Copies of this chain bind each other. A is one copy, B any other.
Amino acid sequence: MQKLKELIKRIKERANINLLHMDFDVGPYLPEETTLEQIPKFCALCGLSPHHPLHFQFSQSCLAGSYFLDRCVVLSSVIYKSDIRGDELKRKGETFKVDGVTIPMYEDEEIHIKDSFLAKTLVHNYSHEPNSPETFYIHSTVSMPYANIHGSPVTGSFLGVGSTIDLTTVQSSVVGEFSYVQTGEMGHHILPPGRIWVASHGNFDFKYSYDQKILEQYVKHPPGGVAGGKIVDFARQREHDFELVFESLRAQSGQTPQRSALSPYAIIKGDCHMDRNVFVAQRAYLEDAYLGPGANAQENCFIIQSHLEGENVTAHGGKIINARMGRKIFVGFNSFIQGSDDQGLVVGKNSIIMPHTIIDLAAPLEIPEATLVWGYVNNAETLAQNSMPLEKFAQINGDHQQGAMTFSGSGGSFVNAFKNRIDHILEVNGAYFDGQSGLGHAQLSRDISFNIIQPFPEGELRGMYPNVDIRL
């Protein structure tokens, strides 16, 4: 596997030169020989659907266990068990708005990945970067397991385990373990582990920092060591289930009602219910889960022994265990929500669980409806510290501090931004489909077939993939 080793070396050089002034080395986070040996076991999937303009181009790369949908170029990169969605790429002839300015699209947008290493990383497009509206790029970047690159073009950066960059153009930056950034832009910045940062220039700025001792119980990754902690272990223990599903060309489809879509590459265990307009993405994990009308379960989410009333959004990497969730509750990226036991957590309708929230309970707890929750919650006391009724939050104007959270600006803008986004997510996922209008993923993703690309089985090319071009 000489070529694969050379490729890893190249990616290391490309990422490090961009991070030179940050005094950061991606080297200790890249796989060693023993890990590389695992790679040829897996294959890449390219989704084929009449609803997505198709063009896949892969060159000099390794795509083990990855999933692609819609236009995507991968050059000199290693993409390992990652989901690259492209189902919200902008189309030729469409327009989009940045700060009120309308930008027309002259070509179909494509995802363009070069000199990058993405391990178990979810990439979702929906970018609003005005510099390259037709290209969603990920260049010279190394990202660790359970990270999300969500609508965020990124160059020369390192994304730690369980981190998320969300609707933010990121350049020459280091995003620490379990950190979340949604600031529109971030350049030459080091975000320490467990930092949650949501900012809109001139409108608001929200920051929360996890206590490092608590964070390490859930997510940790020493340089040169193995990632661990309760959340990482939780996901890792369930990986084998996915390997079994991906080994079958025609995975079992569960029973879903009309207007709903269940990916054949999702895991469905125990007694699950999926109502109309439900979308369950690939690599979602459902076990004894009830999903009411219009609920959606995004990639890498886990919903276990829980009841979701309907129009619930469980974002990429969200984990809900032992919970009873009211209608239209948003659970953000990589949140870990665990009730004490059988529905030991009750969350009232219209609540927003912010991305990267950890709720981990030893005793039952109830969260009132329309509450905003962030950070670490393990009982009623920490809930009081790290939450606020949405209505009250919307009244903040100026500076506000509460526990490890600081806010400045307009609370109303902050809450509205979240609410609008949740509506957008429900809409594109088809939650509001009435039989005629409101088509979304739940209706359009029912019929996808897959091209399956495997690596060379032996020789110096072992683990590398052939150069592939698949188009309409």
| Residues of A that sit less than 8 Å from B by CB | 40, 43, 48-50, 54, 247-250, 447-461, 466-472
Q: Is the CB of A459 within 8 A of B50?
A: yes
Q: Is the CB of B250 within 8 A of A466?
A: no
Enumerate chain B residues within 8 angstroms of A471, measured Cβ to Cβ: 466-467
By beta carbon, the residue of chain B nearest A448 is B457
Q: Is the CB of A457 within 8 A of B466?
A: no
CA–CA, A459 and B472, complex, Å: 13
Enumerate chain B residues within 8 angstroms of A453, measured Cβ to Cβ: 451-452, 470
By beta carbon, the residue of chain B nearest A452 is B452
CA–CA, A468 and B54, complex, Å: 11
Enumerate chain B residues within 8 angstroms of A461, measured Cβ to Cβ: 50, 472
By beta carbon, the residue of chain B nearest A57 is B469
Q: A247-B249, A456-B50 are in contact. Are A468 and B469 (CB under 8 A)?
A: yes
CA–CA, A324 and B449, complex, Å: 46
Q: Is the CB of A450 within 8 A of B454?
A: yes
Q: Is the CB of B466 within 8 A of A470?
A: yes
Q: A50-B461, A468-B468, A470-B467 are in contact. Are A250 and B250 (CB under 8 A)?
A: no
Nearest-Cβ distance from residue A407 to partner chain B, whole angstroms: 48
Interface centre among A454, A460, A469, A471 (most CB of B within 10 A): A454
Q: Is the CB of B451 within 8 A of A49?
A: no
Given contacts A50-B460, A248-B248, A449-B456, 15 further A-B contacts (CB under 8 A): A40-B449, A48-B456, A48-B457, A50-B461, A447-B458, A449-B454, A449-B457, A450-B452, A450-B454, A452-B453, A452-B454, A466-B472, A467-B471, A467-B472, A469-B470
CA–CA, A226 and B47, complex, Å: 36
Nearest-Cβ distance from residue A408 to partner chain B, whole angstroms: 50
By beta carbon, the residue of chain B nearest A449 is B454
Enumerate chain B residues within 8 angstroms of A470, measured Cβ to Cβ: 453, 466-469
Interface centre among A54, A459, A466 (most CB of B within 10 A): A466
Enumerate chain B residues within 8 angstroms of A456, measured Cβ to Cβ: 48-50, 449
CA–CA, A179 and B13, complex, Å: 63
CA–CA, A466 and B54, complex, Å: 8
Nearest-Cβ distance from residue A7 to partner chain B, whole angstroms: 15
CA–CA, A467 and B454, complex, Å: 18
Enumerate chain B residues within 8 angstroms of A468, measured Cβ to Cβ: 451, 468-470
Enumerate chain B residues within 8 angstroms of A469, measured Cβ to Cβ: 468-470
Q: Is the CB of B43 within 8 A of A454?
A: no
By beta carbon, the residue of chain B nearest A59 is B471
Q: A467-B470, A469-B469 are in contact. Are A451 and B449 (CB under 8 A)?
A: no
Enumerate chain B residues within 8 angstroms of A48, measured Cβ to Cβ: 454-457, 466
Complex partner residue of A247 from B40, B49, B250, B449, CB under 8 angstroms: B250
Enumerate chain B residues within 8 angstroms of A449, measured Cβ to Cβ: 40, 454-457
Enumerate chain B residues within 8 angstroms of A448, measured Cβ to Cβ: 457
Nearest-Cβ distance from residue A66 to partner chain B, whole angstroms: 14
Nearest-Cβ distance from residue A73 to partner chain B, whole angstroms: 14
CA–CA, A248 and B251, complex, Å: 9
Nearest-Cβ distance from residue A158 to partner chain B, whole angstroms: 32
Enumerate chain B residues within 8 angstroms of A459, measured Cβ to Cβ: 50
3 closest Cβ pairs, A-B complex: A50-B459, A452-B452, A449-B454
Nearest-Cβ distance from residue A248 to partner chain B, whole angstroms: 6
Q: Is the CB of A457 within 8 A of B451?
A: no
Enumerate chain B residues within 8 angstroms of A54, measured Cβ to Cβ: 466
Complex partner residue of A49 from B250, B457, B460, CB under 8 angstroms: B457
Nearest-Cβ distance from residue A47 to partner chain B, whole angstroms: 10
Q: Is the CB of B451 within 8 A of A466?
A: yes
By beta carbon, the residue of chain B nearest A44 is B451
Nearest-Cβ distance from residue A412 to partner chain B, whole angstroms: 45
CA–CA, A467 and B57, complex, Å: 12
By beta carbon, the residue of chain B nearest A56 is B466
Nearest-Cβ distance from residue A340 to partner chain B, whole angstroms: 41
By beta carbon, the residue of chain B nearest A447 is B457
Enumerate chain B residues within 8 angstroms of A451, measured Cβ to Cβ: 451-454, 466, 468
Enumerate chain B residues within 8 angstroms of A466, measured Cβ to Cβ: 48, 54, 451, 470-472
Q: A48-B466, A469-B468, A471-B466 are in contact. Are A43 and B249 (CB under 8 A)?
A: yes
Enumerate chain B residues within 8 angstroms of A454, measured Cβ to Cβ: 48, 449-452
Enumerate chain B residues within 8 angstroms of A458, measured Cβ to Cβ: 50, 447
